[in-house]
Structure formats: structure tokens, C-alpha cells
Amino acid sequence: MCSLPSSPPPPSDNNFHSDHICLVFCPREPASNGSVTNWIELFNPSTNTWTHVGSIPGLRDDQVLKGFAMVSLGDTVYIIGGQVCHKERVHVSDDTADWVDVGIQVVPTVLRYDFRSSQWMSCSPLRVARYDFACTVCEGKIYAAGGKSTPACARGISSAEMYDPNTDTWTPLPNLHILRYKSVGVTWQGKVHMIGGFAEREDSDRTVPSLVERSSAEVYDTEANRWELKAGMWQLDVPPNQIVAVNEMLLSSGDCLNAWKGQIEAFDGRLWNEVDGSHKPSLSTLEAEQRRYLTMAAIGRELYFLGGYYGKGRTMCIVHVFDTSATTGEEAWRSFEPMEMEGERELCSHCCVVKLS
């Protein structure tokens, strides 16, 4: 590994020694000087406070990284792969325009941030450059599978690999059975699961979508060194937004097109069913605001939902918490005081939990 420029250290008060939620943002539109660089922030659930950590190194000021995976091991965070983009303004109608991400290059880059030393390190790169791929941590190793390998590609890939942080090496794994991108990686019952996604067999007719393939999952068998295809682990043609494991349950709140569908659902090994007390039609009372992102993280028995709402040139960040051990819906949900952030920001990857000590 090689060292990269360090970031300012986070605050060293007692509240910082706990589980924090790590997120990566970028501005919705470039600044006047064209800057759109990603940056990392930490949310402290014990104090409802946000801490700016610093920018992700290695990018030009006018470039932003999207489609990467972010995972944590203890008090370190890994930024893996992704697509380097620039922001381009396009007309969506005669009188309105919006900013879109235009892919430049898919990168195999792997960066590690150590919160103890406030130091970025450059790790061994992925064997296959990829973005919009599934990624999870299992028994101290990082697993990456599927995704896309070129900006203009309309199909996913099937390659998979595993990273050992002790040796800083990526090892190729057998290919998935199906080409997949935008699938979700999660470790459940001690095994690596890659669930859902836009999936198809390599020799399939691409004009005919297959719900059977898109609702399947692949589970890695470490002893046999192979992927096992599991049918029906996701019941929609649209890929999941996020899936997290809590107390041997797999939990989801929506898909990639609608991150919140009004309730939390749990997978019982066969079907997804609504969790008792989780029904909540709206996560926010800010009727005038528009939610632009939603991500969730599991800490202990609780699910944290972090949402961003745009309005009047700023982002209102609201955090809601669902206690999976509560007996009634009234006891299960609680909300933090909204926090106003300057400028309109975008979430660049789903969050992860960092254990700081």
C-alpha cells in the first residue's frame, strides 16, 4: 500500500467513541469554479451531529466518483472501484434543465481511510474494473461481484473476486451463474449473498427480461469454492435499493426506483413480509421538500434511515430510527431533529457503519 494525503482528524471527544454512519456526498451541480469532488461525512447517532472528514483523493476537481462500493472493517473504510464522471447540464424540457453524470472511465482503484491516523492509503486494485456491483464483508474479507466494466456497456458482468486486507491481495473467484449489475451484497447466516439486480444469462435474448433471473440470488460456498443459485430471494423485477442483516433477519425498505415503500420487509427464507409496526406512509413531514436520497444502516437492533430533502438551495437531512425489537409501531419509530446543510447535495454511495474506539 502507499500513503495518500491525509484528512483533518475528527473531533476527539467522548461521543466520538461509538458506532458512526459514514456517507459520501457530492454537490448536485458544479460550483462556479467547476468543482464537484466527493467528500466523506460521519453521522453520530448519539449526538445527532455531522462531521466533515475530507475529500476522496485521486480525482480532479471537476470529476466525481459514482457507482463505487463503500464498506468498513472496524475503524477503516474502503472505497472500491466505481465510475469517474463529469457533470453535464441537459435540457429535460423546453424550459427546464438538470445536471446528469456522464461516465468517463471505470476504475479498479481501491482506497482505504484509517480513522485512527486520518490517513488515506492506496490498496491493490481490483482485478476487474467495475461499478454498480455487489459488495459485502464476510469474516474479515471483502467480496465483490458483478457490475459493469465499461461506461457504455448495457449488460452486467459475472466475474467475482475477494480481498484479503492482511495481504493486500485480490483473489479471483468463480464467475457468477448470471450476468448482474445493481445487485446487492449482504452477509447473512455467515455466507456471502449477492441478491437481485438487472440480471440475465450470457446467452439470453436481451429483449426479453427474466423475472426468474432478476429475483434470484447467488450464495458463495467457501468450502466448495462455487456460487449456488437461489431462486426467489427477491420478488421484484426491479433491483433492491438496500438489504441489511439484523438479528438473523434480512431487511429491506424498497427498490432502486422507490427506496421507501411505506414499510420495512423481512425475508423469512422463502418470502418477504411486512415487519410488524414498521408501516409508515411518509418518512418526513416536510411536505414542501422533495426527498432526493435515502439510505439505511443497521446498528445493533436498530435501523437508521438517513434522507436528504432539497429546497431553497440547501439540503435538509433527516434521520429516522426503527427499533426491530419494539413490540408496537408507536414504540418502534423515533426521529432526530432535522439538520440543515448548505447547498444541494447528492448521495454517491450507500452508507456503512464505522466502529470507532
Question: Which range of residues forms the domain containing residue 177?
Answer: 128-233
The number of domains in the chain is 1
CA atoms within 13 A on the CB side of 51: 20
133 assigned to some structural domain: yes
185 assigned to some structural domain: yes
What is the pLDDT, as a whole number, of residue 149? 96
153 assigned to some structural domain: yes
91 assigned to some structural domain: no
Give the domain CATH number at 202: 2.120.10.80
The pTM score is: 0.92
- Rounded distance between C-alpha atoms, residue 121 and residue 168, angstroms: 11
Residues counted in the chain: 357
Read off the DSSP letter of residue 251.
E
* Beta-bridge partner residues of 94: none
| HEC profile of the chain | CEEECCCCCCCCCHHHCCEEEEEEEEECCCCCCCCCCCEEEEEECCCCEEEEEEECCCCCCCCEEECCEEEEECCEEEEECCEEEEEEEEECCCCCEEEEEEEEEECCCEEEEECCCCEEEECCCCCCCCECCEEEEECCEEEEECCECCCCCCCCECCEEEEECCCCEEEEECCCCCEEECCEEEEECCEEEEECCEEECCCCCCCCCCHHHHCCEEEEECCCCEEEEECCCCCCCCCECCEEEECCEEEECCECCCCCCCCCEEECCCCEEECCCCCCCCCCCCCCCEEEEEEEEEECCEEEEEEEEEECCEEEEEEEEEECCCCCHHHHEEECCCEEEEECEEECCCCEEEECC
9 assigned to some structural domain: no
Task: Give the DSSP H/E element, type plus range, for residue 107.
Answer: none
Predicted confidence pLDDT, tens digits, the chain (357 residues): 654 544 544 444 444 558 999 999 999 999 888 889 999 999 999 999 999 999 999 999 999 999 999 999 999 999 999 999 999 988 767 677 788 899 999 999 999 999 999 999 999 999 999 999 999 999 999 999 999 999 978 899 999 999 999 999 999 999 999 999 999 999 999 999 999 999 888 776 655 556 678 889 999 998 899 999 998 899 888 999 999 999 889 999 999 999 999 999 999 888 999 999 999 998 887 765 689 999 999 999 999 999 999 988 899 999 999 999 987 767 899 999 999 998 999 999 999 999 997
159 assigned to some structural domain: yes
146 assigned to some structural domain: yes
Supply 84's cell numbers: 469517474
| Sequence-distant (≥ 6) Cβ neighbours of residue 264 within 8 angstroms | 251, 252, 253, 274, 275, 278, 303, 322
What is the pLDDT, as a whole number, of residue 11? 44
Q: What is the CA radius of gyration of the chain?
A: 20
285 assigned to some structural domain: no
Helices and strands counted in the chain (H then E): 2, 32
What is the pLDDT, as a whole number, of residue 14? 45
